[in-house]
Structure 1
Amino acid sequence: MSWKTVRLDWDEDVATLTVDRPDALNALNVATLEAMGEAITEAADEDARALVVTGAGDDAFIAGADIAYMQDLSTTEGQEWGELGHDVADALEAFPAPTIAAVNGYAFGGGCEMAIACDLRVAAESAVIGNTEIDLGIIPGWGATQRLPELVGDETARRMIFLGERLDAESAAQAGLFGEVVSDEDLEDAVSELASRIAEKPAVAMRAAKQALNQRSEGSQTSGLAYEQRAFASLFGTPDQREGMSAFVEGREPEFE
């Protein structure tokens, strides 16, 4: 299949999903999320032995969700939007083979959530990552409240979410968000080498290893993710959400109640 804002490329048994909206810093809109979901399904159906996720251009992995689209959503529409993002993040987490986020720039909000839904993360030195939703009058809605503490610990996750902190690549690596940081020019080669090493391993055993690792928190995380979806949707239509997103779109500082 072909999509306008997503590419799926192959190098032998390794698939690479590229979000291709560089003029919008690869921000996620409805069409892009739907295309990502279809591309992930296609890669699984074609028995990819590793899946790399990255963004087009030099500036952003995925800068976040499309805030201009989100600012006028109702609670019901916010629920649908949250479910769509969850579906894609969950598909990355449940993908049969290991997934690798090649973080090549900004990874904020929904971009951070897509990165942490992957099994492994390799970052360029210029990468900056964070859950910045609080400054828009909402909370993370695509899995961060549940997945982030698993990676960085409770205290760091709370600081990132409560304060909307943005971490540079080295700080994020020290916190446990990135497994490896390389120079910008070496990112593609480093990720390619890692994906190739994974693809050379026995596929059935690799699938079992991933399923076993995911099983450790599945029970509590399922209920947590469901709660997050409800809480995320409930914030659409609140004065803080309207002000936070309007301020972002208009390029000014928000004035919350």
Structure 2
Amino acid sequence: MTTALDYRDGLAVLTLGDDENRFSPDWLEAVDAHLDQVEEQARGLITVGDGKFYSNGLDLDWLMSHGDRADWYVARVQALFARILTFPLPTVAAINGHAFGAGAMFAIAHDYRLMRTDRGYFCFPEVDINIPFTPGMAALIQAKLTPQTAVTAMTTGHRYTAEQALSGGVVDGAGPVDQLVDDAVAQLTPIAGKDRNTLAAIKSTMFAPAVAALAQGRG
């Protein structure tokens, strides 16, 4: 699993990896380092996976073997969500494949989401794997979805196809996988170039309750 950063007309394209792209500590560190560079050099951010997965979220194997660091790990993941939620540039998640659990939350934290049409599911499976949402994770999802969609997504573990996700307002567009990044570029280009400090302040105000909940850890 290797993250990579490229640029398209001043827009950063951050590839999350070419496997399940789970949030290992090393992955989190690499992504944060890329985001530091993006903040300095780019006009917008697109994230995408390479292959079957956008992201399968938490690295449960690491978490099971490092139980004494669970609070640190959850706080670290939630800090990434908060960073994307209030990022000082416009952001698009190009969901190239499966987005599950924290991987779906990472996508939800973006300003916009585009999803591959021919395969892949968007899902919060927590109810089926007996892992309750933290207050921060719940607040993040509820900040971005309508109340009824949030109820369905969070309490049933429904696996959304691209068509269902689009009709439910989970994503903002859908298309062939080989066009997702191009579509994301087209969406960002007209809105890129806003003042970064102003944009970050607006997002921080819009999502203040979610940001505060994400800062609280597991609750």
TM-score by length of 1: 0.77
Q: d(CA) in 1 for partners of 2:27 and 2:116?
A: 23
- Evaluate the alpha carbon distance shift between residue 217 and residue 91 of structure 1 in structure 2; reply closer, same or farther with a 3 A threshold: closer
State the partner residue of 1:241.
none
26-35 vs 128-137, greater mean Cα deviation: 128-137
Distance 1:208 1:166, change over 3 A: same
Distance 1:41 1:145 in 2: 26
Distance 1:71 1:88 in 2: 21
AA in 2 matched with 1:109: G
SS at match of 2:23: coil
User: Residues 13-37 of structure 1: CA distance to partner in whole angstroms, max 9, x if unpaired?
Assistant: 1111111132xx2222111111111
Q: 1:89 and 1:128, CA in 2 relative to 1: closer, same or farther beyond 3 A?
A: same
Out of 22, 25, 29, the position equivalent to 1:27 is: 22
User: Runs of 5+ in structure 2 lacking a partner?
Assistant: none
Q: Which amino acid aligns with 1:104?
A: N
In 1, Cα distance between equivalents of 2:128 and 2:162: 21
CA offset at residue 68 of structure 1? 1.6
Task: Tell me, in whole angstroms, the C-alpha distance in 1 between the residues paired with 2:135 and 2:2.
Answer: 20
Q: Deviations over 1:157-187 (max 9, x none)?
A: 1332222222111111122110111122322
Instruction: Indicate if the aligned counterparts of 2:85 and 2:203 stay in contact, CA closer than 8 A.
Output: no
Q: 1:192 to 1:159 in 2, by over 3 A?
A: same
Corresponding position of 1:230: 218
Q: Which amino acid aligns with 1:31?
A: D
Q: What does 1:73-112 align with in structure 2 at a 5 Å threshold?
A: 73-74=66-67, 76-112=68-104
Q: Given the alignment of the two structures, is residue 40 of structure 1 paired with residue 28 of structure 2, yes or no?
A: no
Aligned 1:101-180 pairs, distance under 5 A? 101-125=93-117, 126-141=119-134, 143-180=136-173
2:215 corresponds to 1:216 = no
Question: Which protein is bigger by CA-based radius of gyration?
Answer: 1
Alpha carbon RMSD of aligned pairs, Å? 2.2
Q: In the comparison of the two structures, how many residue pairs are matched?
A: 218
2:48 matched to which residue of 1? 54
**Secondary structure, counterpart of 2:160 in structure 1:** strand
How far, CA to CA, are the matches of 2:174 and 2:135 in structure 1? 25
Write the distance in 1 (CA, Å) between the matches of 2:167 and 2:123: 14
Contact residue 107 and residue 128 of structure 1 kept, 8 A: yes
1:116 and 1:148 in contact (8 A); partners too: yes
SS in 2 for 1:127: coil
